[in-house]
């Protein structure tokens, strides 16, 4: 078998892929989980009223919270491709330490990583309240807020299968 070698395409290595609202709404409704803070967003692509962006950077915050509010934070996270492992570990840390519930979507190929085992599999083995399930089909994401198409005009979807991970839930 011959495997194609080379660098990722410019499009696939871009960190400006946005979650489609349709996917977000489907997952939050299906799992009856309603986030109020997008943990890896921009003003343009946030799916929640409040969000952490590159400047506020959820990865370096000691504890996620709303400014000047006692409202309980419930997270949503579709991490940038180059920070999936870091976000998995941070989401677990925030859940483990502060009990901040978070719904996350990650590509299925993250399962073999050290971050996946430390943040998901090992805690589940310890009977912690973490749940994951495959998302049916290949999700479509927006690049800089726009749909993407191949040279024949077909809308592109992710080449990866995805999973939803819910920190703060044992089962559906």
Res 95: pLDDT? 98
Arithmetic mean of pLDDT over the chain: 82
Backbone angles phi, psi at 150, to 5 degrees: -80, 180
Distance CA 59, CA 62 (A): 8
Q: How many CB atoms lie within 10 A of CB 73?
A: 20
> Quick check: 79 pLDDT over 80?
yes
What number does CATH give the domain 17-167?
3.40.50
DSSP state letters, 79-117: --GGGHHHHHHHHHHHHHHH---EEEEEEGGGTTSHHHI
Of the pLDDT bands very low, low, confident and very high (cuts 50, 70, 90), residue 135 is: confident
DSSP-derived 3-state class of residue 154: coil
Res 158: pLDDT? 52
């Amino acid at each position: 078998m011959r495997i194609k070698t080379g660098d990722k395409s410019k499009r696939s290595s871009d960190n400006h892929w946005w979650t489609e609202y349709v996917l977000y709404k489907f997952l939050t409704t299906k799992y009856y989980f309603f986030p109020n803070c997008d943990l890896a967003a921009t003003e343009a692509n946030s799916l929640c009223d409040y969000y952490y962006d590159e400047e506020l950077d959820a990865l370096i915050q000691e504890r996620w919270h709303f400014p000047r509010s006692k409202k309980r934070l419930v997270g949503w996270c579709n991490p940038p491709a180059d920070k999936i492992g870091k976000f998995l570990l941070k989401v677990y840390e925030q859940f483990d330490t502060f009990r901040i519930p978070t719904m996350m979507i990650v590509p299925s190929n993250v399962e073999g990583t050290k971050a996946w085992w430390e943040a998901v599999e090992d805690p589940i083995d310890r009977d912690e309240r973490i749940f994951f399930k495959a998302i049916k089909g290949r999700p479509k994401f927006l690049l800089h807020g726009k749909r993407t198409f191949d040279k024949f005009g077909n809308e592109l979807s992710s080449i990866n299968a995805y999973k939803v991970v819910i920190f703060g839930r044992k089962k559906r």
